[in-house]
Amino acid sequence: MAEENEGVKPEDQDVDWQAHARTWEDRAKKNLAELNAAKAEAEALKAQTQEWETKYSSAQTLADEAKAKATADLRDEYLARIARIRFENAFQTKGRELPDNFDELVNISKFVDAEKGDVNLDLVTQFVEAVSPGDSTAPKFDQSFNSGPVGGQAPEPDYSPEAIAQRILDRSPFNQ
């Protein structure tokens, strides 16, 4: 090291050192300016990202609310239709017709259980019983095909020649 500095005067060594210091100081200032610019850009991007996230979350919230409202409206509409059908059936079992202005007279939503998503049949039955009491025109006996008289015997067919001839004539396609 001493050999490198043999031809350099001591005052030149100070100047050389100061020049190197200025060079490194300039580089440090330049790096600091670049770092500050990068920090500012990162802060701007972070703020923009937060703004976008806020807009997205508010838009998503609005979309979720609209979807929930549409679902509830559609469910209420169909439950009202189902309730009306239940009322029609209940009135028909009493042998009566549902009035044309029934929807205006009765708040059907009172008979809908929105939590379960169904119509409360007990309330419908109670309402129909209260509105249409007494005898109904509906038959009070079983309407199935097997409700005829049970027991007894079928009549014996008549095997006389006249009865047989009459049955043959009745079945004949030319006799009609």
Residue 1: predicted pLDDT: 46
Instruction: Give residue limits of the domains in the chain.
Output: 14-133
Q: Average pLDDT in the 41-70 region? A: 91
List the alpha helices (DSSP H) in the chain.
Answer: 10-93, 102-105, 121-131, 161-171
Residue 153: predicted pLDDT: 66
Residue 35: predicted pLDDT: 94
Q: Average pLDDT in the 143-172 region? A: 73
| Residue 166 half-sphere exposure toward CB, CA atoms < 13 A | 7
Q: Which of 42-56, 122-136, 157-171 has the highest mean pLDDT?
A: 42-56
The region of weakest confidence among 104-108, 126-130, 153-157 is: 153-157
CB 102 within 8 A of CB 84: yes
Q: Average pLDDT in the 162-169 region? A: 86
